[in-house]
């Protein structure tokens, strides 16, 4: 039986969102080297040195959307052949460098049924929270350490909107996740409209080829599409202004689908009513201006990381 040091190493980059499960199933096959974050260019070399591992021995990297895998990282691993990442997107990996090197990039979890359902549920949860100000109300109650005898002074933050039922909801990206969001919203009698690369011939929802036109006709905009050159800043200031002062944005796709600086200003100025965000443009950094806003609900990019999704991801990782 091979000793631990004789097993082939796998480099795990970023917060350990599913490493404990993958490790438990594969400790007999691999030696796991876990680096929580790449804070500086030379930290990878220093880390590998402490593990008595030469960079040329690393053939496989496991990561997640919270850890960028840059060209510098890829170039520092001369034998790298596979990068496996959780989630549905690969925009945090330098695909051009991988293509030049012939490195296979595999996204596991996000395209599977379990993850799609989890992300759809998160989208709905964020939307309901923003509309009813659940998190804001919770903070308000917790701040009231001493009960007031003056009932008039005990005022809760009022919900942003009367109710979810019957709202007109626009979905950008009517793929696997977008369809699951739509089906859940149907149970609230919402009217679904959508924008995608192409019109879906078997879908009865109203299709819009122009995002501004879609935003003009809805109450809520939910982003479910992947981040590409075509979809970066697909929600810009023009779209936000078209959505209007009563409009709500929910993003469970990627942060850069929205022009984040414009989003912050629109929220502060009341040019849109609220936002529920599981993703951010420069993760893990979040614009500090959002922290004090009660019309915003923030989540740390965890929509696809339930325990069930972890298990599903591990099953589909076949290295």
For the question of residue 271 being annotated catalytic, the response is no
The radius of gyration computed from the CA coordinates of the chain, to the nearest angstrom, equals 22
- In the chain, the number of structural domains is 2
Task: Let me know whether 20 and 94 are in one domain.
Answer: yes
Select from 177, 169, 167 the least CA-distant residue to 253.
177
The answer to whether residue 68 is domain-embedded is: yes
Q: How do residues 190-199 score in pLDDT, each as one tens digit?
A: 999 999 999 9
Instruction: Choose, from 195, 254, 262, 281, the residue flagged as catalytic.
Output: 254
Instruction: Choose, from 23, 283, 289, 316, the residue flagged as catalytic.
Output: 283
Backbone angles phi, psi at 210, to 5 degrees: -120, 125
For the question of residue 283 being annotated catalytic, the response is yes
Task: Let me know whether 91 and 196 are in one domain.
Answer: no
Q: How do residues 34-88 score in pLDDT, each as one tens digit?
A: 887 765 655 788 889 889 999 999 999 988 777 889 999 999 999 999 998 876 6
Polymer length in residues for the chain: 319
Task: Let me know whether 136 and 71 are in one domain.
Answer: no
For the question of residue 139 being annotated catalytic, the response is no
Give me 127's structure tokens. 């939307």
The H or E element spanning position 186 is helix 176-186
- Please, what is the angle between helix 19-26 and helix 307-316, to 10°? 40
Instruction: Choose, from 31, 92, 195, 301, the residue flagged as catalytic.
Output: 301
Task: Let me know whether 129 and 36 are in one domain.
Answer: no
Find the domain containing 263 and state its range: 114-145+158-298
Residues 6+ apart with CB under 8 A from 163: 131
Provide the CATH number for the domain around residue 74.
Answer: 3.40.50.720
Task: Let me know whether 250 and 120 are in one domain.
Answer: yes
Strand residue runs (E) in the chain: 9-13, 31-35, 60-63, 82-87, 104-109, 168-172, 191-195, 206-207, 220-223, 248-251, 274-277, 296-298
Task: Let me know whether 32 and 179 are in one domain.
Answer: no
- pTM, whole model, 2 decimals? 0.78
Examine the pLDDT at 96 and tell me if it is beyond 80: yes
């Amino acid at each position: 039986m091979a000793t631990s040091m004789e097993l082939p190493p796998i480099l795990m980059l970023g917060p350990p969102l599913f490493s404990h499960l993958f490790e438990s199933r594969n400790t007999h096959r691999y030696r796991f080297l876990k680096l929580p974050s790449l804070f500086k260019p030379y930290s990878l070399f220093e880390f590998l040195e402490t593990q008595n591992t030469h960079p040329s021995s690393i053939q496989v990297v496991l990561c997640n959307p919270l850890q960028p895998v840059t060209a510098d990282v890829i170039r520092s691993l001369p034998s790298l052949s596979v990068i496996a990442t959780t989630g549905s997107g690969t925009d945090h990996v330098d695909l051009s460098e991988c293509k030049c090197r012939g490195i296979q990039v595999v996204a596991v979890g996000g395209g599977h049924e379990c993850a799609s359902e989890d992300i759809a549920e998160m989208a709905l949860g964020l939307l309901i929270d923003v509309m009813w100000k659940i998190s804001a109300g919770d903070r308000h109650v917790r701040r009231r350490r001493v009960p007031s005898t003056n009932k008039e002074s005990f005022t809760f933050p009022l919900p942003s909107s009367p109710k979810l039922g019957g709202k007109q909801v626009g979905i950008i990206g009517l793929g696997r996740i977008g369809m699951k969001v739509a089906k859940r919203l149907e149970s609230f009698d919402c009217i679904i409209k959508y924008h995608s690369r192409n019109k879906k011939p078997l879908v009865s929802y109203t299709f819009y080829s122009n995002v501004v036109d879609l935003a003009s006709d809805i109450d809520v905009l939910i982003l479910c599409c992947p981040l590409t050159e075509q979809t970066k800043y697909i929600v810009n200031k023009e779209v936000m202004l078209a959505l209007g002062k009563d409009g709500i944005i929910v993003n469970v796709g990627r942060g850069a689908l929205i022009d984040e600086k414009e989003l912050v200003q629109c929220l502060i100025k009341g040019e849109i009513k609220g936002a529920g965000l599981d993703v951010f443009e420069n993760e893990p950094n979040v614009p500090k201006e959002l922290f004090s806003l009660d019309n915003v609900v923030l989540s740390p990019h965890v929509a696809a990381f339930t325990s069930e999704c972890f298990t599903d991801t591990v099953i589909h990782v076949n290295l």
